[in-house]
Amino acid sequence: MTEIAVSVLVVVGALFTFIGSLGLARLKDFYTRLHGPTKATTLGVGALLVASVIHFSSGEDMPSLHELLVTLFLFITAPVSALMLAKAALHLRVRSAASLLSGTDDDADAGEQSG
């Protein structure tokens, strides 16, 4: 029973992680590409970690919970690195598919880049 649950979770996790990476390859501009690694992977890695908890807790008298820490650190670090990347990209005026807002570092030539 636990084996089935673990297998399903691992496959689901791998699938979502794969889709996240696919997004990294397929999307058009830097900012949309940022979404892939921060997002689809949260569910992907989450499913893998739940699988790990179930696998290492079954048969033991003590539940294995340090996977929770991986989740915690991931949820703290992934958005921060994404924020820093986006901020740097705005600062360097990386080409964007979306029109940039005034108030960001780039507002002069925002109009002609939208489309």
Partner 1 sequence: MTGRVLPHPLLTVALAAIWLLLVNSFTLGQGLLGLLLGWLIPFFTQRFWPERVRIARPWWLFFFLLKVLWDILVANVTVAALILAGPRAMRPAFVSVPLDLRTDLAIGILANTISLTPGTLSAQLSPDRRSLIVHGLRVEDPELLASEIKARYERPLIQIFEPPC
Which residues are at the interface with partner 1 (CB under 8 A)?
A: 16, 19-20, 22-23, 26-29, 31-32, 34-36, 38-40, 42-43, 46, 62, 64-66, 68-69, 72, 75-76, 78-80, 82-83, 86-87, 90, 96-101, 103-104
Kindly tell me which of 7 and 26 has the beta carbon lying closer to partner 1.
26
Kindly tell me which of 7 and 95 has the beta carbon lying closer to partner 1.
95
The two structure tokens encoding residue 59: 């048969």
* Distance (Å, whole) CA 38 – CA 30: 13
Kindly tell me which of 4 and 60 has the beta carbon lying closer to partner 1.
60
Smallest distance from the beta carbon of 2 to partner 1, in angstroms? 19
Terminal Cα distance for the chain, rounded = 52
Kindly tell me which of 2 and 99 has the beta carbon lying closer to partner 1.
99
The two structure tokens encoding residue 14: 């791998």
Smallest distance from the beta carbon of 99 to partner 1, in angstroms? 7
The two structure tokens encoding residue 20: 């996240």
Number of H helices, E strands in the chain: 5, 0
Are 107 and 101 contacting, i.e. CB atoms less than 8 angstroms apart?
yes
